[in-house]
Amino acid sequence: MAAQKTDALIVDAVRSPIGKKNGTLSHIRGDDVSAQVINGLVERNGVDPGEVEDLQWGCVSQVDEQAWNTGRNTALAAGWPVSVCGTTVDRQCGSSMQSNFNAAAAVWSGQLDLVVAGGVEMMSRVPMGSNRGSMSDAVYERFDIVMQGISAEEIAAKWNLSREDLDRYSYESHMRAARAIDEGRFDKEIIPIELDLPAPDSGTTLIRTRFAVDEAVRRETTVERMASLQPAFVPDGKVTAGNSSQIVDGSAAVLVASEEKASALGLEPRARFLGFGIAGVDPHLMLHGNPQACDRALAKAGLTWDDMEVIEVNEAFASVVLQFLADTNLGERWEAGDVNPNGGGISLGHPLGATGARMTATLVSELERRNARYGIAAMCIGFGQAIAGVVERL
């Protein structure tokens, strides 16, 4: 590892349950969900919110309810002192892995001692693309910019992945996520969300509800049902609603501390960040940079794939994970259950700005469950990037 002033300790890592599209969480604002998540995080660690110096908050669609620097507004909505700062980070799908990176880098360099790093995306309330703008003609002239689903199709074609390959992977994702829920594997990372839901028979009566379990998982799905779904992006394509990440709502947060601060507050860190890697790749093919980002993160951590006992790769699309497995030669590790052991974006859903921190939380939980030491989480990123982070359980 490179010389650092202090470890960047992961004191704790939590998340909301993930709400399906237009499901339970669609009845509450993202900053209000996030406020409950960060309050749950500090409360269960006995941390006075006034000790937190900054909230680094990932969010992709920064308009409407997610506008005006939702990072800062989340701290205010949580009732935290005005002294707690907040910023909002956009590295597209990698936004809250980037906020984790920002927090770790600030701690490693000695500039900050206690940071909450996470993110939010309420895709039911603020749809993906609703902050759509335009790019410079200079970019359009250089690259054929397409939507992510088209890139997922092209990756499937270029890596010779069949529709059956994509559906088999995706079916297994749902089965793994359902098993994880049934076995309570997410219990430690989930902060239940309290909210008012309209009564089923009445538009006006509200019922106080405690939402505690991920609801996008399709445990009843079958390979045959998935094979019957129509292509979602091109008429003769292989990418469907079944083998794409789901549109969902969620929030996740990681409490990152320096060694000195953790010791002063009597905190018991669960893990530490060892290194991050980012990679830029072709903006058209877009989603194939995970292997390069991982290589860089592993090099910074001074570790290799053989050291990684748990590997999380964001299931943006099944083709992206299968391309990653092919390029890294890790297919057997997926079969063995070391890669995405508890499902991912296809089954749990991919709330864009929250997923990176969600993956950190799930990775730390899984390392603890296995009594394992090292793990990595990687995510592809829209318009041709990827980011990965390596953690060590303590």
Q: Which of 174, 288, 294, 380 is catalytic?
A: 380
Told to judge if 59 belongs to the known catalytic residues of this protein, a careful annotator would answer: no
List the structure tokens of 349: 């859903």
Smallest distance, ligand COA to C-beta of residue 286, A: 8
Q: Is 217 in the site for ligand COA (CB under 6 A)?
A: no
CA nearest to 39, candidates 145, 162, 192 = 192
Among 29, 270, 350, 393, binds ligand COA (CB under 6 A): 350
Q: Is 283 in the site for ligand COA (CB under 6 A)?
A: no
Smallest distance, ligand COA to C-beta of residue 324, A: 13
The rounded distance, in Å, linking the Cα atoms of 346 and 386 is 18
Spatial contact of 2 and 300, defined as CB atoms under 8 Å apart: yes
Closer residue to ligand COA (CB): 49 or 291 = 291
Alpha-carbon distance values, 344 to 222, 291, 378 (Å)? 17, 18, 12
Q: Is 226 in the site for ligand COA (CB under 6 A)?
A: yes
Among 244, 290, 292, 355, binds ligand COA (CB under 6 A): 244
Alpha-carbon distance values, 174 to 16, 21, 59, 99 (Å)? 19, 16, 25, 28
Pick the piece of the chain touching ligand COA (CB under 6 A) from 49-57, 75-83, 236-244, 355-363. 236-244
Q: Which amino acid is at 151?
A: S
Pick the piece of the chain touching ligand COA (CB under 6 A) from 111-119, 199-207, 244-252, 290-298. 244-252
Closer residue to ligand COA (CB): 226 or 256 = 226
Q: Is 221 in the site for ligand COA (CB under 6 A)?
A: yes
For the four alpha carbons of 313, 319, 320 and 322, in that order, the dihedral sign comes to positive
Told to judge if 93 belongs to the known catalytic residues of this protein, a careful annotator would answer: yes
CA nearest to 293, candidates 391, 386, 155, 390 = 386
Residue span 60-99 as binding mask against ligand COA, x where in contact by CB under 6 A, dash where not: ---------------------------------x------
Told to judge if 294 belongs to the known catalytic residues of this protein, a careful annotator would answer: no
Closer residue to ligand COA (CB): 55 or 346 = 346
Among 73, 95, 245, 328, binds ligand COA (CB under 6 A): 245
Name the H helices within 237-378: 259-264, 290-301, 318-328, 331-335, 355-370
For the four alpha carbons of 255, 256, 261 and 263, in that order, the dihedral sign comes to positive
The rounded distance, in Å, linking the Cα atoms of 92 and 311 is 21
Alpha-carbon distance values, 265 to 4, 39, 86, 90 (Å)? 21, 17, 21, 31
Q: Which of 93, 174, 288, 294 is catalytic?
A: 93
Smallest distance, ligand COA to C-beta of residue 35, A: 25
Which residues bind to ligand COA, rule: CB under 6 A? 93, 148-149, 218, 221, 225-226, 229, 232, 241-242, 244-247, 287, 316, 350, 382
Catalytic annotation, residues: 93, 350, 380
